[in-house]
Structures are given as C-alpha cells and as structure tokens.
Amino acid sequence: MQNKFKLIGIIGEISPPSPTSAFQNFKRQGCVDTYTQSIEKVNAIPIIIPFVKEYNSDTIVSYISKIDGLLIPGGMDIEPSLYGEKRKEECQKSNKENDQFSIDLIKEALFQKKPILGICKGCQLLNVALNGTLFQDQKYDLRESKEYNHSDLNKIDTPSHKIIINKDSKLNKIFNKQVLSVNSLHHQSINQVGNSLNLSALSLDGLVEAIEHENPNYFCIGVQWHPETLFTKDDSMKPLFEAFVNSI
C-alpha cells in the first residue's frame, strides 16, 4: 500500500474548552497537533479516534478495522487500579474511562496485528494493556541512583538525556545506533514489562525508555520520550515514524 493511503488512528482525549471559546460548557476532543504533523511528515493520513463514553466491543473492533496503524499519544497519569495498585500520593490526575477505552483499542489492535506506536503515556498504556505495571512516580524506581530529571518541561523539543538501546532490538535496527539523545517529560515509568514485550532501551540511570513486541515481524513499539516534538525541530526521530508507517 502506498503511504498516502495509510490511515493512522490517534487515540483522542477530552480536554477543557479554550479560555476564549464561546462554548464554555463544552469540552473538546482531540490531540496535540505534533502527533498529526508527524504522521503527515511521513506521508500517511492521521485520523483522531475520539473518546466515546458509550461503547462496546463492536465499536472497538470497528475503529481498529478501519485504521492501518494505531498511535497512542502522551497524556496524564494512568489510573493505578488498571494495573492492580492503590493510588499513591504522588500519582497525579487520571481519567479511568479514557484509559480503559485506550486499553480496549490497544488490545484489539494487538489482536488484529495492526502496527502500534505508543508515545510516553502511550508506551505505559501499551505496557498496562499487556499486564505490565508502572511506578506511580519515578522516585519509586530505585534500580539505579537517579541522575536525570525525567520531567524536564523546559526541554519539550530538545534532548535532555541519553538512552542505551538494546543491540538485538527492532529499535536498534530503526535508528542504527545504540545511544540516542531524547527528551524526557514523564513523571511515571515502567516497572514490570508486560507479557510478550521486550525491554528495548534504558536511560543511563536505569529507567525503562522503550519496549517492543517480542514478535520480530510485528511493529509494536512504545517509547517513553516524545519523538513527535523532537520531529518539529529536526529529522532525528523521522526513522521511527517512517518505520511505523512503512511496516504497514
């Protein structure tokens, strides 16, 4: 299939009205437009899948059947009960219904073997959808002493730390390098890696920075950084989006 016909579904979320909107009683549906731009830049077609309150398995099957790939964007913290934990004090605001909707879409995309790219929270949601767990705050991840601030909001579109990519990973094939400079805007991080997933990159201070499906022929990758905002500045992350779209 030519890229121009490939439809990439981006999971939407509800957000408050803009302060100048006349429709102050109504929320908005959508995503940050760096996600749609990134898909446009690799010549595919982005389509936002709105969060719907009333849905069933037919709704989910229908959405996933109509798209060629699923992009799971970043967002707020994930509801801890979805990975079997009680909420800790450091866990920030979450939206259980939106998270459950996302997980149902991910499970169906996995079932239909549709390519998946999870970004930041999207990477964590992919992990939770496959029964993995999270650290509700990165301070609980004590694998290494913490060298970096993994939530550097002043560096949204520039790298703030390095990661080491596993030599045998799909990610290594995509970037053709083992050390990559990435931005870092996450406050939660992956604890136990989910079923059928491999760990594919760690930060130098030991946080999980990427996961991927163990099936080498299936593009299903989650990255903890934000390649789509780096892609607004240069082409260092273009190979990831290209590989995603080209896998269709």
Catalytic residues, by residue number, are: 120, 226, 228
At 53, list the tokens: 């309150």
At 179, list the tokens: 């050390």
* Part in contact with Mn ion (CB under 5 A); list of ranges 32-40, 55-63, 114-122, 146-154: 146-154
Question: Could you tell me the smallest distance in angstroms from the CB atom of residue 150 to Mn ion?
Answer: 4
Binders in 213-232 for Mn ion, by CB under 5 A: none
Say how far apart CA 243 and CA 248 lie, in whole Å.
Answer: 9
* Part in contact with Mn ion (CB under 5 A); list of ranges 10-18, 45-53, 178-186, 211-219: 178-186
* Part in contact with Mn ion (CB under 5 A); list of ranges 32-40, 99-107, 110-118, 184-192: 184-192
Question: Could you tell me the smallest distance in angstroms from the CB atom of residue 209 to Mn ion?
Answer: 6
* Binding residues with Mn ion: total (CB under 5 A): 2
Residue closer to Mn ion, measured from CB, 104 or 212: 212
At 46, list the tokens: 């982005």
> What string marks each residue from 41 to 80 as x (binds Mn ion by CB under 5 A) or -?
----------------------------------------
From the list 111, 109, 25, 75, the residue with the least C-alpha distance to 188 is: 75
Residue closer to Mn ion, measured from CB, 69 or 222: 222
Residue closer to Mn ion, measured from CB, 85 or 152: 152
Pick the binder of Mn ion from 6, 114, 121, 150 (CB under 5 A).
150
**Contact residues: Mn ion, CB under 5 A:** 150, 184
